[in-house]
Chain A
Amino acid sequence: MTSQTIPEARVRSAPDLGVLLTGAGALLLVGSALLPWAGYAGFPGKMTLSGYPGGARLYVLLLALPALALLRPLPGRAAALRAAANVELAVVALTVYFVAYAGGGFVNVGGGVYPAMIGAILYLVGSRRLPTSEAVAEGVALPDASWRFPVESLVVAGTAGLALWLFVIGLGMPSSSIASGSDLTLGPLSINDVANSGQFLAYVITIAGVALVAGRLGLLKSLTIMTGRHPKLFVAAGFIAAAAFPFTQNGSGESLSIAARIGVFAAAAVGLNIVVGLAGLLDLGYIAFFGVGAYFGALVSGSVTSVTGVHLPFALTIVLGGLVSGIFGLLLGAPTLRLRGDYLAIVTLGFGEIFRITVNNLDGSAGPSLTNGPNGVSNIPDLALGSFNFGANHTLFGIDLSFQSNYYWLELLLLAFVMTSFLRLSESRIGRAWVAIREDELAAAATGINTTRLKLLAFALGATLAGAAGTVNAHVVKVAAPDSFTFIESATLLAAIILGGMGTVPGALLGATVLYLLPEKLRFLHDLRLLVFGIALVLIMRFRPEGLVASKRRAREFHDHETDPAAEAVA
């Protein structure tokens, strides 16, 4: 957002044509939000009602609101409005498309669609003509007054709550009637499926758009300053909000079970982030360590399909599962960590494949009987801690809780533990040594760091965390089977932290959420999931290699080769 110089006269001449157009566009959009968009019943969000901005119309309304900034020349205004207009156009186009598609043709759209389309175009054209000489918005810190603490606390806690609330809304949005797991046959999509997908997509885009606008107006920077001052409060608020989630579900378990899976996926991603994001070791077989834990957990769960017949207490299982997986990490890492980084990538990939092939074969015919081959170890019994049965529904404070809440809380604890470990490690002697190795291994050695040992530590620690997460996951999904541990799973985890932003916890959470939730909710994309995933990897590396949430270090690291000719010459 470099502000360019434009002729004086244009800055002063008010009211500017751009301002007029933008304002007109926004007014049309607001109006359209109150008119019906669908001429038929059945599209989610009461799209036939007039005078009520339901469904995707709410998003349209929301994205028109930044136009209020036209009333006062705020810094960053033009950039923010341009972003809002871009996203608005996308949301309008998308929604119109889905309404028309689900209604069997454009003839069946409602009257609100026309002003919306015209408004979106005016909004876009106008925002492009806004004078851009205004300064880039800087984050503002509140003055050091007695009211600062309560205000900041409120904002910080509110932000954590809001983020989770948005997540929960997305989670609860209806997805589709297709049974999950039907991988190959897409089958005919019902109108409902399409409409639901469309609405979910519009929701996600709107959130991204609002975040973008807030960023352009400097609000995100202010927020970062505030959360940076009260990190503990931020985390605590987030955790409490997350823990309270099951109480909002009226005894239903569907969203909870998705949330629990996202949680374990995120925990694994954070663990991988230690290996890749901090120590810079590319591990392409990470899911295998997760698998070691899962199989270990399954085998000692007392399941009837486990050949061991052993049933260990769960607390012990987690610890042992982590340890076993960590030992695998040590055995694999010790000889290979001396190698060039990209060789390590291939070795870990090889290990991942060996693991998958092995558990697939240990069925008593192609190998010793241990894992039940392709069927895996299934029917893992529900956990019980003392007299508390994880498989039963409970009532707490008079609120019904489905049994999934128990597993959800378990995952939440796991995630909290992994996140805490990551955050504390990254700001410690060990974490600094990892980053130093990533930056310049030779210099790190010359500074007194035992590079081999520390790399091994990162690798084994990552494996241990993955193993622990694996044991938990085996009890949540009740089965450990080979096809959950393929290369593509490792690649997805890697993609989660790259998408979110390497080396940051919020990045890993965001990446895991997006990569898990999008395919879950966008069933019409189901078959193209991996295709989109491949393109996304390429595009992210090309245009935003630091990910959505950039750690400060990474942002500069990835982008200065574009500006610094010296760096280019060296590479």
Chain B
Amino acid sequence: MSVLEARAVTKRFGGLTAVKDVDLVVNEGEILGLIGPNGAGKTTFFNCLTGMETPTAGDVTYKGAPLPKRPDLITKAGVARTFQNIRLFNNMTALENVIVGRHTRTKAGVFAAVGRGPRYHREERESEQTARDLLTFVGLGRVGDELAKSLPYGDQRRLEIARALATDPGLLLLDEPTAGMNPNETAAAIDLVKGVQARGIAVVLIEHDMRFVFGLCDRVAVLVQGQKLLEGSPSEVQSDDRVIAAYLGKPTEAETAGDKQ
């Protein structure tokens, strides 16, 4: 069963085609790695999936239904994400950041907030409990009351994941979750992503750390210059010459040329 199906997604910025005809299927419960050299269009592809950019062409379905256009509706539908350059609500506490993630799953409006009936209190309690559980889940149980921006880098990345999880996603998109982490933190991140998978959430992650990708992912897709070069099991991808060539920046003449046609 597939969770997400992207078909022929294309994004052009003026003359530059950042993403070109990319098809991608994400299966239920899997961890899919998305790799590719700098500027390959990985982040742009994520942006197209999450409504941050409008794709020039192509369509995306989530659990069989077309994905809405607006970011908030996409999140509500069940696709959550993190950002390559961490984007937390810096002047809110870690706990508040995660509670904000509950926004789409809660209801209280202005009148409820001013009136504060029993239902309001119940909902607030539930949001807070969920948020605390998630903080514990990502290993930040002790820092809930700290401001997001005062957390160390690695913690900020994990907080972003907790915030995304708070939206009850069916699919989580992680943009370079280990960037800037030390080896210990990276090791912990592996467990974290596996934990997310264990919750029945499919994961797509962009990464440059190959050991991380090949050690963790069920499948790996390679994006080069906006196009999907290939897709397969970690061992298939690892042993493919074209991938190495793409990373070294020197296409092995005829091979890649032939592949493009």
B244 at interface (Cβ–Cβ under 8 A)? Answer: no
Interface of chain A: mostly helix, strand, loop or mixed: helix
- Please report the C-alpha to C-alpha distance between residue A553 and residue B88 in the assembled complex, in whole angstroms: 14
**Which chain B residue lies CB-closest to A428?**
B113
Let me know if B114 and A432 touch, CB within 8 A: no
Which chain A residues numbered 17 to 47 have a C-beta less than 8 Å away from chain B?
none
Across-interface contacts of B114 in A (CB, < 8 A): 420-421, 424-425
Let me know if A451 and B72 touch, CB within 8 A: yes
Encoded as 1 (CB less than 8 Å from any B CB) or 0, chain A from 403 to 447 comes to 000000000000000001100110011111101100110111111
A450 at interface (Cβ–Cβ under 8 A)? Answer: yes
A457 at interface (Cβ–Cβ under 8 A)? Answer: yes
Let me know if B88 and A443 touch, CB within 8 A: yes
Let me know if A557 and B52 touch, CB within 8 A: no
Let me know if A449 and B72 touch, CB within 8 A: yes
Which of B91, B104, B123 has the most A CB atoms < 10 Å from its CB? B91
Let me know if B72 and A424 touch, CB within 8 A: no
Minimal beta-carbon separation of B137 from chain A (angstroms): 17
Let me know if B89 and A442 touch, CB within 8 A: no
B83 at interface (Cβ–Cβ under 8 A)? Answer: yes
Across-interface contacts of B83 in A (CB, < 8 A): 443, 446
Minimal beta-carbon separation of B136 from chain A (angstroms): 20
- Please report the C-alpha to C-alpha distance between residue A343 and residue B52 in the assembled complex, in whole angstroms: 22
**Which chain A residue lies CB-closest to B79?**
A446
Let me know if B91 and A554 touch, CB within 8 A: yes
A461 at interface (Cβ–Cβ under 8 A)? Answer: yes
Let me know if B108 and A429 touch, CB within 8 A: yes
Number of residues from B at the complex interface, CB < 8 A: 41
- Please report the C-alpha to C-alpha distance between residue A445 and residue B164 in the assembled complex, in whole angstroms: 12
A10 at interface (Cβ–Cβ under 8 A)? Answer: no
Given A448-B76, A450-B72 in contact, is the A430-B109 Cβ separation under 8 Å? yes
| CB < 8 Å neighbour of A447 from B52, B90, B101, B109 | B101
Encoded as 1 (CB less than 8 Å from any A CB) or 0, chain B from 49 to 85 comes to 0111000000000000000001110011000110100
Given A430-B110, A431-B113, A448-B76 in contact, is the A440-B87 Cβ separation under 8 Å? yes
B196 at interface (Cβ–Cβ under 8 A)? Answer: no
Contacts between the two chains (Cβ within 8 Å), count: 105
Encoded as 1 (CB less than 8 Å from any B CB) or 0, chain A from 460 to 497 comes to 01000000000000000000000000000000000000
A229 at interface (Cβ–Cβ under 8 A)? Answer: no
| CB < 8 Å neighbour of A433 from B103, B116, B124 | B103
| CB < 8 Å neighbour of B99 from A432, A440, A444, A560 | A432
A338 at interface (Cβ–Cβ under 8 A)? Answer: no
| CB < 8 Å neighbour of A443 from B89, B113, B147 | B89
Let me know if A429 and B113 touch, CB within 8 A: yes
Given A446-B81, A447-B100, A447-B163 in contact, is the A436-B113 Cβ separation under 8 Å? no
| CB < 8 Å neighbour of A553 from B76, B92, B113, B163 | B92
Let me know if B72 and A445 touch, CB within 8 A: yes
Given A424-B116, A444-B100, A451-B72 in contact, is the A430-B108 Cβ separation under 8 Å? yes
- Please report the C-alpha to C-alpha distance between residue A420 and residue B116 in the assembled complex, in whole angstroms: 11
Across-interface contacts of B110 in A (CB, < 8 A): 425, 430, 457, 461
Minimal beta-carbon separation of A126 from chain B (angstroms): 39
Which chain B residues numbered 30 to 63 have a C-beta less than 8 Å away from chain A?
50-52
A556 at interface (Cβ–Cβ under 8 A)? Answer: yes
- Please report the C-alpha to C-alpha distance between residue A554 and residue B120 in the assembled complex, in whole angstroms: 27
Across-interface contacts of B52 in A (CB, < 8 A): 442, 446
- Please report the C-alpha to C-alpha distance between residue A560 and residue B148 in the assembled complex, in whole angstroms: 13
Let me know if A433 and B100 touch, CB within 8 A: yes
Let me know if A436 and B100 touch, CB within 8 A: yes
- Please report the C-alpha to C-alpha distance between residue A204 and residue B112 in the assembled complex, in whole angstroms: 40
Number of residues from A at the complex interface, CB < 8 A: 31
Minimal beta-carbon separation of B104 from chain A (angstroms): 4
- Please report the C-alpha to C-alpha distance between residue A420 and residue B115 in the assembled complex, in whole angstroms: 10
Encoded as 1 (CB less than 8 Å from any A CB) or 0, chain B from 93 to 134 comes to 000100111111010111011101000100110010000000
B178 at interface (Cβ–Cβ under 8 A)? Answer: no
B167 at interface (Cβ–Cβ under 8 A)? Answer: yes
Minimal beta-carbon separation of B107 from chain A (angstroms): 8
| CB < 8 Å neighbour of A448 from B103, B124, B147 | B103
Across-interface contacts of A447 in B (CB, < 8 A): 72, 75, 100-101, 103, 163-164, 167
Across-interface contacts of A557 in B (CB, < 8 A): 90-91
**Which chain A residue lies CB-closest to B101?**
A447
Given A443-B83, A443-B89, A446-B52 in contact, is the A429-B147 Cβ separation under 8 Å? no
| CB < 8 Å neighbour of B89 from A428, A436, A450, A556 | A436
Across-interface contacts of A553 in B (CB, < 8 A): 91-92, 147
- Please report the C-alpha to C-alpha distance between residue A346 and residue B117 in the assembled complex, in whole angstroms: 39
Which chain A residues numbered 526 to 560 have a C-beta less than 8 Å away from chain B?
553-554, 556-557, 560
Across-interface contacts of B81 in A (CB, < 8 A): 446
Across-interface contacts of A428 in B (CB, < 8 A): 108, 112-113, 120, 124
Which chain B residues numbered 162 to 184 have a C-beta less than 8 Å away from chain A?
163-164, 167
Across-interface contacts of B163 in A (CB, < 8 A): 447
- Please report the C-alpha to C-alpha distance between residue A449 and residue B101 in the assembled complex, in whole angstroms: 9
Across-interface contacts of A431 in B (CB, < 8 A): 113
**Which chain B residue lies CB-closest to A445?**
B71
Let me know if B113 and A449 touch, CB within 8 A: no
**Which chain A residue lies CB-closest to B50?**
A446
Let me know if A556 and B91 touch, CB within 8 A: yes
Let me know if A448 and B167 touch, CB within 8 A: yes
**Which chain A residue lies CB-closest to B76?**
A448
**Which chain B residue lies CB-closest to A432?**
B100
Let me know if B96 and A432 touch, CB within 8 A: yes
Let me know if A439 and B90 touch, CB within 8 A: yes
Across-interface contacts of A442 in B (CB, < 8 A): 52, 71, 87
- Please report the C-alpha to C-alpha distance between residue A554 and residue B92 in the assembled complex, in whole angstroms: 10
- Please report the C-alpha to C-alpha distance between residue A560 and residue B127 in the assembled complex, in whole angstroms: 30
- Please report the C-alpha to C-alpha distance between residue A457 and residue B110 in the assembled complex, in whole angstroms: 9
**Which chain A residue lies CB-closest to B168?**
A448
Across-interface contacts of A429 in B (CB, < 8 A): 102-103, 106, 108, 113, 123-124, 127
**Which chain A residue lies CB-closest to B167?**
A448
Across-interface contacts of A444 in B (CB, < 8 A): 89, 100
Name the 7 nearest CB pairs between A and B, nearest first.
Answer: A428-B113, A448-B104, A448-B75, A443-B87, A445-B71, A439-B89, A553-B91
A/B interface sample: 14 pairs, CB < 8 A: A420-B114, A425-B114, A429-B106, A430-B113, A431-B113, A432-B99, A439-B90, A439-B91, A440-B90, A448-B76, A449-B100, A461-B110, A557-B90, A557-B91
Given contacts A429-B123, A432-B92, A439-B92, 15 further A-B contacts (CB under 8 A): A428-B113, A429-B102, A433-B100, A435-B92, A435-B96, A440-B90, A443-B88, A445-B51, A446-B81, A448-B75, A448-B104, A449-B100, A457-B110, A553-B91, A556-B147
